[in-house]
A and B are shown apart, each in its own frame.
Chain A
Amino acid sequence: MTLSFTHSISQAQAPGLPRRAGLGLKNEHFSEVLETSPDIGFFEVHAENYMVAGGPFHHYLGLIREQYPLSLHGVGLSIGGEGPLNDEHLARLATLIERYKPHSFSEHLAWSSHGPVFLNDLLPLAYDDETLKRVCEHIDQVQTRLQRPMLLENPSTYLQFQCSTLEETDFISEAIRRTGCGLLLDVNNVYVSCINHQQDPLKYIEALPLHAVGEIHLAGFAEDTDSLGDRLLIDDHGAPIDNAVWQLYQHVLTRTGPVATLIERDNQVPAFSVLHAEARQADRFLLEARA
């Protein structure tokens, strides 16, 4: 069982990211990374931040790319959108990929644009056949345009749709089966969604196509409560990784073997050393998973 997983993972990752911990690259840390060359497996950037003509962002990313593997993570493609994908945006992605030759490109199972409006959030989808068909067409279009397989990230959600006819995990499995894309398994999103929807995270994980995992995301969440006073977790990327998420991550690694793992922090960004410590923690778990 483990052997077949390992085999599939190497395919999903080829030529892929190293099976180590990586960090989201923040502009606050550009100089420090270049000056100290920290031992980090890879860096990940949000594609949209680098869709600018020139200046410091390209300057620093170019230099950092010379030293580290890179993961390009899109947040604006709106793969779950009802309308067609934005061709201009796809062209900008293709240009970035040509320039930086990232080891991986990933996007979300969500929508963020509608008509002329961009909503700057990853919004939830109803899981039915119509949506599945549309999402698969969009993934096909992305993979054809970019000439490479992409990874699809499982979402964090706060609500469910009455008209959904598929479980989220079945929807994801089928999209991956039909399009040949890989899975970006966001373990924090699994935990957040499962708490919010009173599901068992371990069962959710088991229902995913783990052979297709090409990258893992880890992040922190914020705590809120809903109208019944129940825990409502918000995926805000603004806190250290919770113990429950670390534990779930360790469990995932027993099922997948070591997989490139990103520590995400997009709000209240702390000193680089704080993020590096979380990366080292992930590296220790990855090393154990190798044994």
Chain B
Amino acid sequence: MSRQDVFTRALLSPEESCPKGLFSHNGADPASRFAVYRNNVHSSLINALAAGYPVTLQLVGDEFFRAMAGVYVQDFPPTSPLINEYGGDLADFIQGFAPAASVPYLADVARLERLRVRAYHAADALQPDQQEIIAALQQQSDLGELRLQLHPSLATLNSAYAVVALWAAHQTGESLATLDPFHAQSALVLRNGLHVQVFHIDSGAAAFINSLNNGWPLEMAVAYALDAAAEFDLHQCLALLIGHGAITHLHTEPKVSP
């Protein structure tokens, strides 16, 4: 094993002893100084996760979150120097993390928070004026064939829990006492200008938006939405998307099959 093999292994695992061949000029135990590096690695990564998942942290408390993040860091250290991408799959880890099982909605709240980070850093796109989009829609002779291109920041989340209400309650410091987390909610996350926004949408709207993102024309997207929820309201959903700059382009030409 190379020197950096040994060093890396000892940094990541607290059970490993301090690598050999190290010394302190004053004769102090090298382990007491190696501990600084080990602590830097672990605490900087745990801090990065804490910064990316503030509501997840609040739901379980700082001590629990840091202990959980510590296990994640040890099992899944970063594989890229882009730390803002680190912890992208923390929600999947939480889902399988037995000590967190008593907070069943924790993983979905983490999923929502990750969508917010992704939306924040997502690619920019020209956001046409609302009136332009409305006028363009009204001019279409064959609306059903139209494909709507959505902003790159936009994503949805379907949850069996009240994920939007839980997240929102933590933004306003609202009491969770009256909040029933055990009803299904879907979320829409997008960046409008510089601001990331979170909306509660119904499962029909989520199916509609996902269909558009998959390149389906309007008619098909509506069919999928009605399949998901018979009460899907196209007008309301389009108004939400247009009103928050989420529709960036209208494609009238048929999609070219690969």
- Tell me the A residues contacting B by CB distance below 8 Å: 48-49, 51-59, 75-78, 81-82, 86, 89, 111-121, 123-124, 126, 158-163, 196-199, 224, 226-228, 230, 232, 234
Contacts and interface: CB of A to CB of B under 8 A. Distances in A.
Given A53-B123, A57-B121, A232 B33 contact: yes
A-B pairs, 9 with minimum CB distance:
A76-B81, A54-B124, A52-B121, A227-B32, A53-B123, A227-B29, A226-B28, A118-B78, A114-B8
B53 interface: no
17 contacts: A51-B82, A52-B121, A53-B152, A54-B123, A55-B194, A76-B81, A81-B4, A111-B4, A117-B77, A117-B78, A118-B78, A120-B41, A121-B37, A123-B4, A161-B3, A197-B24, A232-B36
B32 A226 contact: yes
Contacts of A198: 25-26
Nearest to A46: B83
Interface centre among B4, B33, B44, B191 (most CB of A within 10 A): B4
Q: Is the interface of A mostly helix, strand, loop or mixed?
A: loop
A119 B41 contact: yes
Interface in B163-202: 191, 194
B21 interface: yes
Contacts of B100: none
A116 B41 CA distance: 15
A75 B122 CA distance: 22
Interface of B: 2-5, 7-8, 11-12, 21-34, 36-37, 40-41, 44-45, 48, 77-84, 119-124, 152-153, 191, 194
Nearest to B8: A114
B80 A118 contact: yes
Contacts of B2: 82
Contacts of B40: 121
Contact of B21 (A78, A162, A227): A162
A77 B79 CA distance: 13
B151 to A, nearest CB: 10
B80 A114 contact: no
Contacts of B37: 121, 123-124, 158-159
A234 B124 CA distance: 39
Contacts of A86: 81
Contact of B83 (A82, A120, A160): A120
